[in-house]
Amino acid sequence: MVATTLESPRVETLAGSGIQLIPKEYVRPKDELVSITNIFEEEKSDEGPQVPTVDIADILSDDRAVREKCYERIKDAAVDWGVMHLVNHGISNELMDRVRVAGQAFFAEPIGEKEKYANDPGTGMIQGYGSKLANNASGQLEWEDYFFHLVYPEEKADLSIWPKKPQDYIPATREYAKELRGLATKLLSALSIGLGLEEGRLEKEVGGMEELILQMKINYYPKCPQPELALGVEAHTDVSALSFILHNMVPGLQLFYGGKWVTAKCVPDSIIVHIGDTLEILSNGKYKSILHRGLVNKEKVRISWAVFCEPPKEKIILKPLPETVTEAEPPLFPPRTFAQHMAHKLFRKSQEAIDDSKKVQPQEQNNAETDIPQPEEQQKTVESKPQKIEILKPGEEASTSP
Ligand SMILES: [Fe+2]
């Protein structure tokens, strides 16, 4: 690890130190640099495909035909993009603003205050204030700090580790998590119907009210003196079932669509929704888990609030639902628990770093990266047991059942 990160592992400290050149650990590989451009200019451009905006005001309409049209729009976006700007989603602007104000106020605290909440992935404590540690052979780092914690179901959330300042942090975040859980159910219903399944099927398949967990990661991207060389978040797909993203209206998110990086616009009052790997697997690839990344800039701090809806780690075997599989469309994914799926991605990532295989296509390049902080122990386990991981090619049966 670099000396700068040893003394203070926070990117905010590094950014505030007055450096003009960023440490080499933050500089992306050459072939990736060619695609990193000015995010403000990108966001202004209307050229090329755009992330769909989906209005879900009618999702609970009493008129069945109206409701089904709304379901159809959600399905189309999930099939084509796997990501969308949701508008008229039913969560008030006031509540979203409270969440934003609370997170901003936490990050506005002095570093010393925030360090009281520091996580410790080395001991498995992944919740709390943190920064990415160099955990692979390439030692590549991201230009961000974060705060990560489980927010739902409430009985699984440890409020004692949530920020105590500002005072509204806990009430605003609890309320927001509850609202998002309701929204997740509505979207899962629409997506179930979109696959020709019963309305409650996907909700059940990802663990239902008891087992589906919501984890929030507040991403804090300081101003970067060389934004053309760094990334806030490496290219990856989300492992979740669904991810919900709020941000402070500073652009940064890019999606890899049609062979190109497309910049997401800042759509007022919207929530960005990602289909994650979990739904991609259950739908046998009909819903896409899109590759995405985060750019940084020189002028403005960007903050985003990501909430990942995840199935239980061990209790459920994720595999394409029988209704999504035919002779013509064989299973694209082998059966794996959520934990095994994450381990598989991490294993592939560490292999890629070791192989230094930089010549692969962008969609293959870094999609093993995960948004979710990982205990260091897990990383070691993954590396020491590669024989348990296998990739199923289309048409093949899994040789082992986990
Ligand atoms: Fe993500």
Q: Which amino acid is at 285?
A: G
Where residue 137 falls among pLDDT bands split at 50, 70, 90? low
Instruction: Classify residue 107: in a domain, yes or no.
Output: yes
Instruction: Classify residue 2: in a domain, yes or no.
Output: no
84: phi then psi, degrees, rounded to nearest 5: -155, 155
Instruction: Classify residue 1: in a domain, yes or no.
Output: no
Question: For 152-156, what is the mean pLDDT?
Answer: 97
Instruction: Classify residue 236: in a domain, yes or no.
Output: yes
- Domain of residue 299 covers 26-398
What does the block give as tokens for 174? 């609890």
The radius of gyration computed from the CA coordinates of the chain, to the nearest angstrom, equals: 20
Active site residues: 217, 236, 238, 292
Q: Find the 62 Cα to ligand 1 centroid distance in Å.
A: 34
pLDDT of amino acid 364: 38
pLDDT of amino acid 356: 54
Where residue 313 falls among pLDDT bands split at 50, 70, 90? very high
Q: Is the separation of the CB atoms in 79 and 288 below 8 Å?
A: yes
Q: Report in angstroms the alpha-carbon separations of 181 from 130, 176, 281.
A: 25, 9, 21
Cα 16 to Cα 108: distance, rounded to the nearest angstrom: 13
Q: Find the 238 Cα to ligand 1 centroid distance in Å.
A: 5
pTM of the model: 0.89
Where residue 133 falls among pLDDT bands split at 50, 70, 90? confident
Give the pairing of strands 253-257 and 128-131. Answer: unpaired
pLDDT of amino acid 281: 98
Q: Find the 386 Cα to ligand 1 centroid distance in Å.
A: 25
Q: Which residues surround ligand 1, an ion (CB under 5 A)?
A: 238, 371
Q: Find the 399 Cα to ligand 1 centroid distance in Å.
A: 30
% of the chain surpassing 70 pLDDT:
85
Q: Find the 236 Cα to ligand 1 centroid distance in Å.
A: 6
Q: Worst-scoring range by mean pLDDT, 7-11, 61-65, 195-199, 333-337?
A: 7-11
Q: Report in angstroms the alpha-carbon separations of 92 from 95, 97, 266, 374.
A: 5, 9, 17, 32
Q: Find the 63 Cα to ligand 1 centroid distance in Å.
A: 35
CATH number, position 91: 2.60.120.330
Q: Is the separation of the CB atoms in 289 and 276 below 8 Å?
A: yes
Instruction: Classify residue 116: in a domain, yes or no.
Output: yes
Domains in the chain, number: 1
Where residue 301 falls among pLDDT bands split at 50, 70, 90? very high
Q: Find the 378 Cα to ligand 1 centroid distance in Å.
A: 20
Instruction: Classify residue 159: in a domain, yes or no.
Output: yes
Mean residue pLDDT of the chain comes to 88
Instruction: Classify residue 337: in a domain, yes or no.
Output: yes
Instruction: Classify residue 16: in a domain, yes or no.
Output: no
